[in-house]
Amino acid sequence: MTISFKDRVAIVTGAGGGLGRTYALDLAKRGAKVVVNDLGGARDGTGTSDAAAKVVEEIREAGGEAMANGGSVTEYDQMEEMVAKAKEAWGGVHVLINNAGILRDKSFAKMEPADFDLVVKVHLLGSANCTKAVWSTMREQAYGRILMTSSSTGLYGNFGQANYGAAKLGLVGFAKTLHLEGAKYNIRVNSLAPVAGTRMTEDIFPPEAFDAFKPENVTPAAIFLVSEDAPTNMIVGAGAGGFQASYVTMTKGVALPEGERNAEGVAAAWGQIIDRTGDTVPQSGSEQSMGIMKLLQGQ
C-alpha cells in the first residue's frame, strides 16, 4: 500500500540540504504540504543562506506545495512563529522531523565549553523548541508524528564527538518520554540514527562509501516513522539501504543480601549483574524500580 501524506502538513528542520532536503522532497511528492526550515548556515552553524528557498523551488517545480522558513531552532519564538504561519496557511501541523544540526568536532581535551554548549543547544534544545511549538496543536487535533534525529554517536559513542553524542542520546530520552505523554493524543514519537554522506560527513567517508551512503537511502525509514501507521518509541538505524532497530535493554540483575550491599558485593556479583540472559526492553523508567522490587521479593 502506498504511504500517502495527502492533507498533512509537515515541518522539516535543517531541510536546505542533505537528509532534510530528501525528507522534504519525498513528503511533498507523497502529498504533504511542507515547511522547509533552514537557517542556511555552514556545517559549524555560522552564517546564513537561501538554502530553504531553493528546496521550496524544487518542490513547487515538481507540483508540490511548500514554504520556506529561515528561523533558528535555538530561538523558541521563531519556532512558534513558524508553526503559526504553517497553521495560518494550511490549518494544522501533523508531522515534525527534527533534523537541524551542526558539528563542532574535537577531542574533549581540546573542546571549548562554548562548542559543547552550542552543539547541545542546536540538536537537543533546538528539537525541544520545535517540538514544544507543535505540541499543543498535535494534542488538540489528536494526531502527531514526530521524529528525532539521533546518531550512532549518541547510542554507542564516537571519538571526538562528546558534545554531539551527549545531545544525540539526550534526544532518545526526550523521545521516549514524549512517546508516553503523547500516546493518548495519537502522537507517535520515534528516533532515527542515520548514516549518510552529506555536507556534515563529507570528510569522514571515503569517496566510494560517500556515494553508497547517499541521503536518499535513509529517507525511507524517516518517511515510514512519520507515517499514519508508524510505530512509536522506536530507535531505527538507516544507511546505504540497510535498516536496523536499537534497544535500551535491562538485565534481570541480582538482589544482594543486606550484609553484602557494598562495593565488594557488587564486584563479586558483577558476572550476574551483566548477564543478558532474559534481558528486557523497558517501556518506561518505572520498570527499573519494578524489576528491583521483583528481585527483592525473590521472583
Catalytic residue positions, numbered: 164
Scan for cell 532497530, then name that residue: 245
Q: Are 39 and 70 in contact (CB under 8 A)?
A: yes
Q: How many of the other CB atoms lie within 10 Å of CB of 291? A: 18
**How many residues are given for the chain?**
299
What angle (nearest 5°) sits at the alpha carbon of residue 28, between those of residues 24 and 32?
A: 110
Cell of 239: 544507511
Instruction: Please tell me the distance from the alpha carbon of residue 99 to that of residue 38, in angstroms, as a whole number.
Output: 10
Instruction: Please tell me the distance from the alpha carbon of residue 76 to that of residue 135, in angstroms, as a whole number.
Output: 13
Please, which residues bridge with residue 97 across strands?
Answer: 12, 147
Nearest of 117, 91, 92 to residue 102 by alpha carbon: 117
Instruction: Please tell me the distance from the alpha carbon of residue 171 to that of residue 131, in angstroms, as a whole number.
Output: 11
Helix (H, G, I), strand (E, B) or coil at 247: coil
Buried b (16+ CB within 10 A) or exposed e, 25-57: bbbbebebbbbbbbbbbebebeeeeebbbbbbe
DSSP state of 121: I
